[in-house]
Amino acid sequence: MCRMSFLLKTITTAAALWVTTLLFSPHIDTTAQTTSGHIGTLLAVAIIFGLVNAIVKPIVKVIGCALYAISLGLFALVVNALLFLLVDYIADTLDIPFHVDGFWWAMLGAVVVAIVSWILNLVIPDKEKK
């Protein structure tokens, strides 16, 4: 993947996270004190989010394949919520001011991030895929 595509995906995810923090604050929130701190936090969390989705999610999909099939894909909501909580844990470990209040907020946040990212990817198409 070229740098421009990575940068575009990171900014798209950061924007989706920003919308999520606007909708669900204080349950999903950045606690940075400045605007540049919020932007930096959202970009850092977007990078963590991308790495978790690229590395951990495929492994979980292979291991949980039967649960995906039995639940007709609804298990994906649980997996996405747990991955969202993993991003929160990693951000906390790295002292990045991002916080999620629990599983249900993580599930709502993961759904909103997915929807907003999907909409933004429709508006800003990836030229590499064409």
Whether the per-residue pLDDT at 128 is higher than 60: the answer is no
* d(C-alpha 12, C-alpha 7), whole Å: 9
Can you give the C-alpha Rg of the chain in angstroms? 15
Task: Read off the pLDDT of residues 25-65 as tens digits, 9 standing for 90 and up.
Answer: 999 999 888 999 999 999 999 999 999 989 998 888 888 88
Question: Which pLDDT value is given to residue 104?
Answer: 95
| Amino acid type, 79 | V
* d(C-alpha 22, C-alpha 108), whole Å: 13
Task: Read off the pLDDT of residues 65-113 as tens digits, 9 standing for 90 and up.
Answer: 888 888 888 888 899 999 999 999 999 999 999 999 999 999 999 999 9
The model carries a pTM of: 0.86
Whether the CB-CB separation of 34 and 91 falls below 8 Å is answered with: no
Helices 103-123 and 75-93 cross at an angle (nearest 10°) of: 100
Nearest of 11, 27, 35 to residue 109 by alpha carbon = 27
